[in-house]
A and B are shown apart, each in its own frame.
Chain A
Amino acid sequence: MGLPDSSQDLSTEMEVDAFRRIFPLRFFERHLSESLRPDARPLGKARDTIVNPGLVSTADGSALAKIGSTTMLAAIRMEVMTPSTDSPDEGCIALEFHMPPICSPTVRPGRPADAAPVISKRLSDTILSSGMVDLKELCLVSGKAAWMGYLDIYCLNADGALFDAALLSAVAAFSNLEIPVVALNDNGRIVAISGGKDEDNASIIEKKAVNKEKRKLTLKNIPFSLTCILHKNYILADPTTEEESIMDTLVTVVLDASDQMVSLYKSGGTVLAYSSAVKSCVELARKRAKELKQILGEMDID
């Protein structure tokens, strides 16, 4: 710590807000020694989480996820494309994570946020490797037509734990997704069938409907994640932006519904973690996965 104890003297005279800004680490450590954080959460507890499906009517599947103040809006649009020759029976998912300037005072227009492409890649890897979506379900006509799902996740408010909120919104959007009805028309091309005009479509539907009704995807091995901060001997679950800016060692654990580990991410940071610390993070992630599973379950019923 090395700082002289003059801050101790100042702290009795200074206002709390000023102390928080000028000596942020000491401010947090005072709280951590009482096993609390400034927002009164115990160290291992995540913030209140809300998931709202189906908000974007122009998209085929969408969801809004909020963890504390961090807000993510995910939406999926399906388009038909030709599958590659290596995997003629499989569709494709393209994921993009955006951090528009509204989400944080540190994001400048014209210059993408530093965190955005990193989270984008990690999300993409996590979702594809978890096997949540069976790409074969996205096939329409083998070798000729398959679905391409464009998943766009927008961060509307960045207050820490961006990866967790983004993954949750992506998973919720997939469970909200309804694949549109299409048919093969006479030219051998896929056309969308809209609600109205039944006379025109009835003939097409009889002959060559590729899928009869809007269907949902079957999701297996849904991934749930928890980001933790390591600081000395403390492990803080679900950090806010303020905590992330002061303490730089983040560990993200992604587990699926059957308690298998999908991904583990610790990229540097001043704290070197013993394996016991990593195990504690995994334990916290396990508890969190149960909570999230319940929240998603309630969302589906609605």
Chain B
Amino acid sequence: MEYVNPEGLRLDGRRFNEMRQIVAEVGVVSKADGSAVFEMGNTKVIAAVYGPREIQNKSLQKKDDHALVLCEYSMAQFSTGDRRRQKFDRRSTELSLVIRQTMEACILTELLPHSQIDIFLQVLQADGGTRSACINAATLALADAGIPMRDLAVSCSAGYLNSTPLLDLNYVEDSAGGADVTVGILPKLDKVTLLQMDAKLPMETFKTVFALASEGCKAIAERIREVLQENTKQLEYRRAA
């Protein structure tokens, strides 16, 4: 099947280095301490952060003078194609762990000892790149909750199909069987927190795909920064009023 036509257009009309449309909004769940909606094309994710609050299950606490970060990823039953999903399958558990570790690396947990930070992610629509959308949404929600972080954790995926590196794969491109590289970086510190890949790639190609994904991450970081600044401006207006 042709994923990139001879003119360089993909199935949805994008070029190889174009991302899908991003819609991001902060403060959507009034009951949560911090919340955000993040959409990348048709992938829609809601993140809610509760914390810092009292630790509910002391047996989970490993480090005494650091905050405990918990993360739960779940997909709505109607979020994907034809089949209904099992509520807590292995993929959800794996993703919960991956996202937790990514966010934990970027939260300043030593500033909030003896407390728990809960990050809940709910995928409402899945069209590829849910992992990345979740990390981006979690970053926004943590910022909305006022939890101190080292940097914004942003994530983007890239793949390699029809001998072309492609940025931000959707579901059809992802299931094509080519490589899928998901990268999570801390843009200001220029460090990689998450790197996952499946399928085989020669080293040189991998470097190109990785570089493309990192570029995507930087673009998302810009957007997230804009959203947060706009949000702060709104809060300032309300406070002044």
A residues near B (Cβ < 8 Å) are: 56-59, 62, 69, 71, 73, 75-77, 79, 96, 98, 100-105, 108-110, 150, 152, 154, 156-159, 241
User: Which residue among B29, B72, B118 has the maximum number of chain A CB atoms within 10 Å of its CB?
Assistant: B29
A56-B78, A109-B70, A150-B77 are contacts. A156–B46 as well, Cβ < 8 Å?
yes
A56-B125, A108-B56, A156-B122 are contacts. A103–B29 as well, Cβ < 8 Å?
yes
User: Which residue among A69, A75, A150 has the maximum number of chain B CB atoms within 10 Å of its CB?
Assistant: A75
Contact yes or no, A105 B31, CB < 8 A: yes
A101-B48, A102-B122, A109-B72 are contacts. A58–B80 as well, Cβ < 8 Å?
yes
How many A-B pairs have beta carbons closer than 8 Å: the answer is 86
Contact yes or no, B77 A102, CB < 8 A: no
Contact yes or no, B78 A152, CB < 8 A: yes
- Give the CA-CA distance A109 to B76 in the complex, in Å: 15
Interface assignment of B101: CB less than 8 Å from any CB of chain A: no
Given the complex, which residues of B lie within 8 Å of A103, measured CB to CB? 29, 31, 48
Partner of B78, one of A77, A100, A104, A110: A77
- 15 additional A-B pairs beyond A57-B42, A105-B33, A150-B78, beta carbons within 8 Å, are A56-B79, A75-B78, A77-B78, A77-B84, A101-B48, A101-B120, A102-B46, A102-B121, A103-B29, A105-B31, A105-B50, A109-B70, A152-B77, A157-B32, A158-B31
- Give the CA-CA distance A56 to B122 in the complex, in Å: 14
A96-B77, A150-B77, A156-B46 are contacts. A102–B29 as well, Cβ < 8 Å?
yes
Interface assignment of B30: CB less than 8 Å from any CB of chain A: yes
A-B contact pairs, 8 of them (CB 8 A): A58-B81, A59-B78, A71-B29, A100-B120, A102-B32, A102-B120, A102-B122, A110-B72
Interface assignment of B98: CB less than 8 Å from any CB of chain A: no
Given the complex, which residues of B lie within 8 Å of A57, measured CB to CB? 42, 125
- Give the CA-CA distance A96 to B42 in the complex, in Å: 24
Closest Cβ of chain B to A38, distance in Å, is 15
Given the complex, which residues of A lie within 8 Å of B118, measured CB to CB? 101, 109
Considering only CB atoms and an 8 Å cut-off, how many residues of chain B contact the other chain? 33
Q: Which residue of B lies closest to A64 (CB)?
A: B124
Contact yes or no, A159 B78, CB < 8 A: no
Partner of B122, one of A110, A154, A241: A154
Given the complex, which residues of B lie within 8 Å of A102, measured CB to CB? 29, 32, 35, 46-48, 120-122
- Give the CA-CA distance A158 to B48 in the complex, in Å: 13
Closest Cβ of chain B to A291, distance in Å, is 22
Q: Which residue of B lies closest to A59 (CB)?
A: B78
Closest Cβ of chain A to B41, distance in Å, is 11
- Give the CA-CA distance A58 to B120 in the complex, in Å: 22
- Give the CA-CA distance A102 to B28 in the complex, in Å: 11
Given the complex, which residues of B lie within 8 Å of A76, measured CB to CB? 78
Given the complex, which residues of B lie within 8 Å of A154, measured CB to CB? 76, 122, 124
Partner of B72, one of A98, A101, A105: A101
Partner of A159, one of B31, B79, B121: B31
Interface assignment of B61: CB less than 8 Å from any CB of chain A: no
Closest Cβ of chain B to A155, distance in Å, is 10
Interface assignment of B17: CB less than 8 Å from any CB of chain A: no
Given the complex, which residues of A lie within 8 Å of B48, measured CB to CB? 101-103
Interface string of B52-78 (1 = CB under 8 A from A): 010010000000000000101010111
The 9 A-B pairs at the shortest CB distance, nearest first, are namely A102-B48, A75-B78, A69-B30, A102-B120, A152-B77, A59-B78, A109-B72, A101-B120, A157-B29
User: Which residue among B31, B46, B56 has the maximum number of chain A CB atoms within 10 Å of its CB?
Assistant: B31
Closest Cβ of chain B to A258, distance in Å, is 31
Given the complex, which residues of A lie within 8 Å of B46, measured CB to CB? 102, 156
Given the complex, which residues of B lie within 8 Å of A59, measured CB to CB? 78
Contact yes or no, B125 A69, CB < 8 A: no
Given the complex, which residues of B lie within 8 Å of A100, measured CB to CB? 74, 120, 122
Interface string of B155-176 (1 = CB under 8 A from A): 0000000000000000000000
Contact yes or no, A157 B30, CB < 8 A: yes
Q: Which residue of A lies closest to B37 (CB)?
A: A156
- Give the CA-CA distance A91 to B28 in the complex, in Å: 37
Interface residues of B in 16-39 (CB under 8 A from A): 28-33, 35
Interface residues of B in 125-143 (CB under 8 A from A): 125-127
Contact yes or no, A159 B125, CB < 8 A: no
Partner of A73, one of B30, B121, B124: B124
Q: Which residue of B lies closest to A105 (CB)?
A: B50
Q: Which residue of B lies closest to A109 (CB)?
A: B72
Interface residues of B in 97-151 (CB under 8 A from A): 118, 120-122, 124-127
